[in-house]
């Protein structure tokens, strides 16, 4: 089974801090994604990556950046955390497009910014 592991289940940070969320997958998937999940809004795509060092902005990239130095690891960075970034963050991976492959999700990081 595919395993997507997010480094923290719960995280509390302060306004203005630089925050790193880490995600590792063990199935050699090319594609990796970061979403945030908010009640009533579903999942909104922040960034995705289709290869090492390659990234594309999603729908809500403002205030975030990403890093993918190795194929299995995809990091989300909040450059200067703000209270409106309090949310559930979900990482996912999938095999390349061309086929209708489902995404595989981690258990999420519930981030609170105080």
Partner 1 sequence: AQSVAQPEDQVNVAEGNPLTVKCTYSVSGNPYLFWYVQYPNRGLQFLLKYITGDNLVKGSYGFEAEFNKSQTSFHLKKPSALVSDSALYFCAVKTSGTYKYIFGTGTRLKVLA
Distance of CA 53 to the CA centre of its chain: 15
CB atoms < 10 A from the CB of 67, how many?
A: 16
Contact set for partner 1, span 39-58 (CB under 8 A): 40-43, 45, 48, 50, 56, 58
Our CB check for partner 1 shows the closer of 82 and 97 to be 97
> Shortest gap between Cβ of 16 and partner 1 (angstroms)?
27
- Phi, psi for 85 (deg, rounded to 5): -100, 5
Q: Is 70 in the site for partner 1 (CB under 8 A)?
A: no
Q: Is 103 in the site for partner 1 (CB under 8 A)?
A: yes
Q: Is 106 in the site for partner 1 (CB under 8 A)?
A: yes
Query: Which residues does 55 contact at the CB level (< 8 Å), separation at least 6?
Result: 47, 48, 49, 66, 68
R_g of the chain, CA atoms, integer Å? 13
Distance of CA 47 to the CA centre of its chain: 7
Among 25, 31, 85, 93, binds partner 1 (CB under 8 A): 31
Our CB check for partner 1 shows the closer of 28 and 79 to be 28
Which residues contribute to the site for partner 1 (CB under 8 A)?
A: 4, 9, 31, 33, 40-43, 45, 48, 50, 56, 58, 90, 92, 97-100, 102-108, 110
């Amino acid at each position: 089974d595919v395993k997507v592991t997010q480094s923290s289940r719960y995280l509390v940070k302060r306004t203005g801090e630089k925050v790193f969320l880490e995600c590792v997958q063990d199935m050699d998937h090319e594609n990796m994604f970061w979403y945030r999940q908010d009640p009533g809004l579903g999942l909104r795509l922040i960034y995705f990556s289709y290869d090492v060092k390659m990234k594309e902005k999603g729908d809500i990239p403002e205030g975030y950046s990403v890093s993918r130095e190795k194929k299995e690891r995809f990091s989300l960075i909040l450059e200067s955390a703000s209270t409106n970034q309090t949310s559930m963050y979900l990482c996912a991976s999938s095999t390349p497009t061309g086929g209708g492959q489902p995404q595989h999700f981690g258990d999420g990081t519930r981030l609170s910014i105080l």
